[in-house]
Amino acid sequence: MTLAELFEKDTLRFLLFGGKGGVGKTSNAAAASLWAAEHGRETLVLSTDPAHSLGDSFAQNLSGGEAVQIKGVKNLYGLEIDPRKAYAEYQQMAQQPDMEEMGGMDMMGLGDLSDITAPGADEALAFSKVLEYIQECEYDLVVFDTAPTGHTLRLLGLPEMLDSFFGKLIKFRLRMGNIFGRIKAAFGRGDSEQDNSLEQMEKLKETISAARIELSDPERTRFVIVMIPEAMAVAETERLLQALYEFQIPSSHIITNMVFPEVLDCKFCKARKDMQEKYLAQIRDIYDDFTITEVPLFTHEVRGLPTLRRLGKLLATGTLPPLGE
Ligand SMILES: Nc1ncnc2c1ncn2[C@@H]1O[C@H](COP(=O)(O)OP(=O)(O)OP(=O)(O)O)[C@@H](O)[C@H]1O
Ligand SMILES: [Mg+2]
């Protein structure tokens, strides 16, 4: 299946872009989301990278905490998820006594864990926001601009981590509930509040399991690997693929970005071109069951709607429209 066919797949709901630092994940995610939106799909482009640059790519502030419309594009919305903000939100909500307000999926239902500082808690909370978008999914397509490999791998592992963390917590609460329930009963008091927070935890566990199913369904989810044709990128792609396989995230497409053009009478250019050609041949050979799309090195950075539109068209159709089109 070409990248174009993947983009046009009706069932596709989640398109993730990932790879090593600086290879063009944000640019390609932004370009793909723009193409999808301009071809009739209500699209959300979501950055899970704490060092955001999605807003830069669209030359628009996307850090407000809510998805906002990309100016000048009808069906496109963008959001950079800020783990620190998600954490602050959580702490504030956890202090509120009324658990009813906290919505089914929020882990904020854990009133007695307001001081949670477990390592990775901020990432986990940011991921809970991502889960929210996966579960509610008001959009036809959600495009993820992910962080460089290491961080993304941790994020992909979070559903399992949270699952077991919450699994243990639920068991613990059940046991404690039994003890406290008996004490309360002895004093003639009910334990409805306790039941409610248990319910919240069960719901969160269900949400996590549902998200796992969504993210591992090849009809609905694809992880597109972005890489540049250089030795280090090849090595890192191996690690990323291994992790995707482990977490059962379907992946079938690779974008080789910043491919050097053919330039006559330039020794430097020829040397770079030859070096890249060597790795491109290697990539084609190793990943022969992947669809590989080559993206040339542009003369300018990829930023703003006109350039993103050109890149989007290249990804979706395989041809780069001339400048100014
Ligand atoms: N094909 C290309 N030609 C020229 N410049 C490009 C190309 N693709 C990306 N760039 C530029 O390279 C820089 C890095 O791209 P981008 O931010 O998309 O990478 P990234 O993988 O998201 O980086 P990070 O790991 O920091 O998030 C940006 O300045 C972008 O405009
Ligand atoms: Mg980026």
What is d(CA 87, CA 100) in angstroms, rounded to the nearest whole number? 20
Q: What is the pLDDT of residues 220-234, one digit of tens each?
A: 999 999 999 998 888
The answer, yes or no, to whether residue 24 has pLDDT greater than 50, is yes
Express each pLDDT in 163-197 by its tens digit: 676 666 666 666 666 666 666 666 665 555 555 56
- Going 228 to 230 to 234 to 239, the CA torsion angle's sign is negative
Selection from 217, 190, 243, 222 nearest residue 32 by Cα: 222
Sheet holding 141-145: strands in order across? 68-69, 76-80, 43-47, 141-145, 14-19, 221-227, 253-259, 291-296
Q: Compute how many other C-beta atoms are within 10 angstroms of the C-beta atom of residue 96.
A: 13
What length does the chain have? Answer: 325
In 3-state terms, what secondary structure has residue 294? strand
User: Residues 21-47: what's their mean pLDDT?
Assistant: 95
Residue 78 pLDDT: 96
pLDDT value of position 117: 47
> Can you read off the two tokens belonging to residue 130?
């991502």
Measure 257 CA to ligand 1 centroid, in angstroms: 9
Q: How many CB atoms lie within 10 A of CB 310?
A: 19
36 pLDDT above the threshold of 80: yes
- Looking from the CA of residue 29, the nearest atom of ligand 1 is 18
Contact 226, 257 (CB under 8 A): yes
| Integer Cα distance of 28 and 312 in angstroms | 7
Considering only CA atoms, which of 232, 224, 311, 222 is closest in space to residue 21? Answer: 232
pLDDT band with cut points at 50, 70 and 90 for residue 312: very high
User: Which residue, by CA, sits nearest to atom 29 of ligand 1?
Assistant: 301
**Residue 284 pLDDT greater than 50, yes or no:** yes
Domains of the chain: 3-317 (3.40.50.300)
Distance 204 CA to ligand 1 centre (A): 36
pTM of the model: 0.83
Which of 16, 17, 20, 26 is the best mutation target for the ligand 1 pocket, counting ligand atoms within 8 Å of the beta carbon and taking the most?
26
